[in-house]
Amino acid sequence: MGNSAYLKKYVENHPNNKMAWYLLGKEYEASGQAGKAHYCYIQAGNVYEAFEASKIPLPEEVLSGYKEGLMKETHRREKRRRFARKLSLALLIALLAWIPSAHAPGDRQAHGPVSAGADLGEAPADVLEPAADPAGGGAPPAAPAFPGPAFTAIGFGGDPAGTQAEAVGGLLALQRQTGFVPIHAAALGMDRTGDWLVWSDDLPVVFGLEQSPDDGRTTLQAYDPAACECAPPDPAELQQQARKWIPQQESLGVLASAMTQYKQAKGAWPSSLQDLTGPYPDNWIAGTDPTMAQAFGPLLVQLKNNGSAASGNGHAKAALAEGMAPGQRPFFAEPYETIVDTKEHVLAVVSGNVLIRSYPVGLGGDRTPEGTFAISEKVVNPNGKDDGEFGSRGMQLSDTNYAIHGTNEPDSIGKDESLGCIRMGKKDVEELFDLVPKGTKVKIGKGILPKLKNVPADRFALGDRQDQTNPHRTYHWLD
C-alpha cells in the first residue's frame, strides 16, 4: 500500500480518471481489502474489464511511468499547498513582530514562535523579539490584553490556502485596530455566492488565533476538518459566544448607518440616541436595544475619527458591546443599503459585499422603476391599519409615489402584480423596517442579486419603540 495515499488523493481530485481508480483498486487488492478494491473496480469500468480480460502484463509492469506521473503530480500539489501554508505563516509572523507582547509592563519576554496547530504543519523555530521603540531604542510598552474571544467574519470555501490567508488577515486586523491584544480571536465563515458573502445567524467558527499569556506563543487553529485535514478541537463554546456577537453586529450596523444618514441630512452628528428615535417623522430608527444604548458614545467617537478609536474623549477606548475588545469597530463598516432585483423578485439588505438579509418580493414588472432612491419616510400602519393594502409597514422612496410596504395579497409575492411598488410579506417587511434607517439608499435593477432567501429563524426586532404612525396623511402609493 505504498502508493495508495497518493492514488486516493488523486482520484478525489480526478474522479473521472478510470485508470487511477483501477490502480487504486489493485493497491487495495494487494493489501487484502477486497471490498474497497471491488468498489474501485466498479468506478474503473471498462478499464478494469480491458486489463483483467487481457493477456498483457499487469498494470504495475507496463504503467509504471503513468503511475509515477500520478505520484509526481500529487507531490507537486502537496508542495504548492505547503508553500501556501508557509506563506500565510510568514505573513502571520511578520505582522506579529509589530504587535506588542501581552505580558505586563516591564516584562521583557519576547514573543514566542508562531505555532501552527494541527492544521498548518511544522511551526517555525525562530523566536521574534518585539519591535524596537524608534524614540528610545528599546522594546515598546506592552499593550493591555483582552481575554476575548474577539470575533470577525470572513469568506469561507473554495481554495483552502486562500481562505487561510484571509483568516490570518482578518484576525490580525482585530489586533491592529485596537490598542489591546486579543488573547483569543476567532473568525466565522460566510458562504460565498458569486461576488457576495452571505451573513447568517449561525455562522460557523472556522479559524482561531490564540496567544498564550504565559510565553506569548501564538497559535492559528483551523476548526473545519476539510481545511486542516485533521480532527480539530470542539468549537462548541466558541460557537455559543459567536451567536451573541452576530446579533450585536446587526444592531451596531443599524446604529452606525442611522448616525451616518443623520449626519448627511442634518450636517451634524446626532448628540444622543434620542435624536434618532423621535416619533414620526424623526424616526431614523424604529427603536433601540441594549447594544445601541451602550455603543452610542464610543461609536460616535469612532465615526467622528473615521473609524479610528485612537483619539477622542473618554469613550475612545470603551467597548461597543459586551464581548468586543475596547476600540474594536463594528463588523459592518459600510452603511446598510437595500437592493431590489426585478428579475429575481428579491430584496436584500447589504453592507459592502456582505448580504445580510434577502427576501422574496412582489413587483410590478416594467411599472417598477429602476434606479437609485432613498428611504425618505418610514411609517407604521399606513392609513391607520395593519391589514390594509399597504400592510403594517411602509417605507417611501425619495418622496415619490413608490414605496416598499406590506400587502393584503400575500399570494402576489414573487409575481408582477403591483402597480409599481415593492410588496413584502408581513414578517419580512417588519424586520426590514427595523433593519434599515431612514435615508438608506435603495437600488433597483435587473440581475444584480442571487435568487436567495436569507432570513433567520429569530427575526431582528428593536424594542423601546416610539410612536411611528402618521394619522394625518392618507397614502396613495402605487400599490
User: Is the Cβ–Cβ distance between 70 and 11 less than 8 Å?
Assistant: no
Give the 3-state secondary structure of residue 37.
helix
Dist. CA 7–CA 70, nearest whole Å: 7
Structure confidence at residue 128 (pLDDT)? 29
Structure confidence at residue 163 (pLDDT)? 74
Exposure b/e, 297-323, CB count within 10 A at least 16 = b: bbbbbbbeeeeebeebeebbbbbbbeb
Phi, psi values for residue 145, rounded to 5°: -100, 145
One DSSP character per residue, 221-274 reads EE--HHHHTS-PPP-HHHHHHHHHHHHHHHHHHHHHHHHHHHHHHHSS--SSGG
Half-sphere exposure of 378 (CA within 13 A, CB side): 28
Give the 3-state secondary structure of residue 219.
strand
Strands (E), 39-174: 114-115, 145-146, 150-155
Dist. CA 124–CA 411, nearest whole Å: 61
Structure confidence at residue 266 (pLDDT)? 97
Dist. CA 354–CA 335, nearest whole Å: 11
pLDDT tens for the chain, 479 residues long, are 456 776 787 778 777 777 778 888 888 888 888 878 888 888 887 677 666 654 334 444 434 444 555 566 666 666 656 555 555 555 554 444 444 433 333 332 333 333 444 333 333 323 223 334 444 444 445 556 777 889 999 998 766 666 777 777 777 777 777 766 667 889 999 999 989 999 999 999 998 888 777 776 778 888 888 767 778 889 999 999 999 999 999 999 999 999 999 999 999 999 999 999 999 999 999 999 999 999 999 999 999 988 555 544 555 578 999 889 888 999 999 999 999 999 999 999 999 999 999 999 999 999 999 999 999 999 999 999 999 999 999 999 998 999 999 999 999 999 999 999 999 999 999 999 999 999 999 999 999 999 999 999 999 999 999 999 999 999 999 98
Structure confidence at residue 126 (pLDDT)? 31
Structure confidence at residue 106 (pLDDT)? 30
Structure confidence at residue 17 (pLDDT)? 74
Residue among 374, 437, 362, 442 nearest 405 (CA): 362
Q: Compute how many other C-beta atoms are within 10 angstroms of the C-beta atom of residue 26.
A: 23
Pairing, β 150-155 against β 196-198: unpaired
H-only helix segments in 144-223: 160-176
Partner residues linked to 374 by β-bridges: 441
Residues involved in catalysis: 405, 421
**pLDDT tens, residue by residue, 267-320:** 999 999 999 999 999 999 999 999 999 999 999 999 998 855 554 455 557 899
Structure confidence at residue 329 (pLDDT)? 93
Residue among 383, 384, 375 nearest 404 (CA): 375
